[in-house]
Amino acid sequence: MSKYILALDQGTTSSRAILFDHDGRPCHVAQQEFRQIFPQSGWVEHDASEIWDSQLAVARQVLRENGVPASEVAALGITNQRETVVLWDRASGEPVANAIVWQDHRSAAFCDSLREQGKGALFQKKTGLVVDAYFSGTKLKWLLDNVPGVRDRAERGELAFGTVDAWLIYKLCGEHVADVSNASRTLLFNIHTMRWDEELLALLDIPASLLPRVVPSSGVVGNTRAELFGAAVPIAGIAGDQQAATFGQACHHPGMAKNTYGTGCFMLMHTGREAIASSNNLLTTVGWQIGDRTDYMLEGSVFNAGAAVQWLRDGLGIIRSSDEVEALATSVPDTGGVHFVPAFSGLGAPYWDAYARGTMVGISRGTTAAHIARATLAAIAYQSADVLEAMQRDAAIGLTELRVDGGAARNDLLMQFQADVLGVPVVRPMVTETTALGAAYLAGLAVGFWHSQAEIGAQWQVQKRFEPAMPEDERHARLADWRRAVSKARDWLQHD
């Protein structure tokens, strides 16, 4: 009898595999980091073969170390870093260039030209996205235009494009598919017709032959090759990491919202079966598709959250591990007037400024590493507050609570400050591995491991609730100072 769902959680800095039981509890976890490649300022790449090798290794490890044969796994779910572009040879299955990561902004100038041509409204109407280098389409165009021989090979049908979900599925079972949530992040997919859009493909000069077949988020798309795990396992759930986390947080009804604190910070609000167009620089995106029902979201993306803490560790060396940041930040009562805007690769929602760069203001002779650590955590909370304010204006829904997950959600200091600057309770669930859990739930629904979304929702439990305690006038004053600091970081790089 099948006892587990295996979730593959392919993130920006590491690949993980988690086995979940029928109660939605993570039983066993394996994780492996892989290289981050920075060829020049604003460029971020991954070796797609390293992504595959690390993901396969942790999947095998979690089964092997816990004595779980593949026959006890009912299905496999995949969740992944979104917008990252992989281009590979159909025959050999090998990448033809490094993957261009979602954080990469090399196509910013081309995005500028599209907006100057007045094409921004067209893309937003069809895809729900703003024209920005963040998304996959312009990254793919860059590869076609700049890697020798690639465009000719693409036009001959020899190459395949995919976001990371499609890449992993191709390596697992040979199918070339992507789910609707990942397709909706490419600038190439019409979220109203639920098809690749010929007009947008023509504008970006992308051959349709490159594109994967689009499938629902829950449903069997193929079986893993038996030699990978010792037996074939159905691949039955697929969703981009933020949509998966929203599903794992049981935000199944309009008005419910979650925030994931990972490398970036991503807030999604469920808006039902209606795609609400944003007037405040947010994204309208597909949440998931189950059967013939499509659920939509509003999303605000913060590019650098956990990445800012990693910079304290790797760039400044003021902490030895990311877990040390809370103790260091707690050693001082406040930031000492310091504001840090971690715009390492530009600013996401609601600013969408590819030319912003990291800025620290308010430094004095009394500033210490502890003040910088506290300012870094505050910056994560402030960026999320900017997003929520825009989200509430768009959806015309007053949020009653924010569900949180991701690595930094374990940080009590950050979660309390987040509640303070939002002015609404922040709720941390018992299971914070909600990204992987969402992929597991989508896979389990497809094979009858779980029978309904109501059954899944009943498994969600509160671990801790953080109530806002900051006076309203102080909250507004702090947010005003933050926004002054953001103004110093904006449009920093010289550009035409």
Annotated binding site: 12-14, 16, 82-83, 134, 241-242, 263, 306, 310, 407, 411
Strand partners, 299: 268, 283
Q: Would you list which residues are annotated within the binding site for sn-glycerol 3-phosphate? A: 12, 82-83, 134, 241
Q: Which long-range contacts (CB under 8 A, 24 or more apart) does 365-370 make?
A: 366/336, 367/336, 367/338, 368/332, 368/336, 369/316, 369/318, 369/328, 370/328, 370/329, 370/331, 370/332
Distance CA 426, CA 428 (A): 7
Exposed, middle or buried, 219 (CB in 10 Å: 0-12/13-18/19+)?
A: buried
| Spatial contact of 350 and 390, defined as CB atoms under 8 Å apart | yes
| Spatial contact of 196 and 302, defined as CB atoms under 8 Å apart | no
| Spatial contact of 489 and 379, defined as CB atoms under 8 Å apart | no
Q: Would you list which residues are annotated within the binding site for ADP? A: 12, 16, 263, 306, 407, 411
Closest CA to 297 of 216, 243, 244, 239: 243
Closest CA to 372 of 386, 381, 361, 383: 361
Distance CA 436, CA 162 (A): 20
Distance CA 86, CA 182 (A): 13
Distance CA 329, CA 438 (A): 32
Distance CA 310, CA 262 (A): 11
- In the chain, what is the greatest distance between 2 CA atoms, to the nearest angstrom? 65
Backbone angles phi and psi of 178, in degrees to 5: -140, 150
Name the residue with tokens 């299955």: 93
Quickly count helices (H) and strands (E) in the chain: 17, 23
Looking at residue 118, what DSSP letter applies? T
